[in-house]
């Protein structure tokens, strides 16, 4: 399950991607409390059970801990471990499809990188 999800992904995977991106960006750091299940469900118009499923996946993978009666908190080292997992997921799951699409469209990857660099310099 990755931070890079598409609109056709199940809702809990999209929610998980949102949370993962927040951890990777530093919006949620080690020791920070994640939004409550109800708050996140209301914010995204999702069923609280769906949010709980997304949170459970983070707990199962050791990125967060539940403190009974208090909430869900990001564990130390979660961002680093999550980044490693997300990179592996990108390389094995996303990149092959992206590379195939690049080839299908006849792009030269070097030209794409040069174009991206030029756009970044203008920004």
Which residues face 64 on adjacent strands?
74
H or E stretch covering 41? helix 37-44
Q: Identify the pLDDT of residue 123.
A: 87
Task: Summarize the confidence of residues 81-85 as an average pLDDT.
Answer: 97
pLDDT band at 8 (very low <50, low <70, confident <90, very high): confident
- What are the distances in angstroms from CA 68 to CA 37, 51, 75, 107? 13, 17, 15, 52
Of the options 3.40.50.300, 3.30.70.2660, 1.10.10.10, 3.10.290.10, the CATH number for the domain spanning 11-122? 1.10.10.10
* 67 pLDDT more than 70: yes
State the pLDDT at residue 2: 60
Q: What is the residue extent of each domain of the chain?
A: 11-122
Per the prediction, the chain carries an average pLDDT of: 93
6 has pLDDT over 70: no
Q: Specify the pTM.
A: 0.82
Q: Which residues pair with 73 in a beta bridge?
A: 33, 65
- Asked if the model's pLDDT at residue 19 lies above 60, the reply is yes
């Amino acid at each position: 399950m990755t931070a890079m999800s598409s609109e056709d992904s199940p809702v809990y995977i999209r929610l998980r991607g949102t949370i993962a991106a927040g951890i990777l960006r530093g919006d949620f750091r080690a020791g920070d409390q994640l939004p409550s299940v109800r708050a996140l469900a209301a914010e995204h118009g999702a069923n609280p059970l769906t949010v709980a499923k997304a949170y459970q996946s983070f707990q199962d993978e050791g990125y967060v801990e539940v403190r009974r009666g208090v909430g869900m908190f990001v564990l130390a080292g979660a961002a680093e471990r999550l980044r490693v997992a997300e990179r592996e997921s990108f390389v094995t799951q996303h990149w092959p499809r992206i590379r195939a699409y690049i080839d299908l469209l006849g792009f030269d990857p070097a030209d794409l990188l040069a174009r991206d660099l030029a756009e970044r310099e203008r920004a």
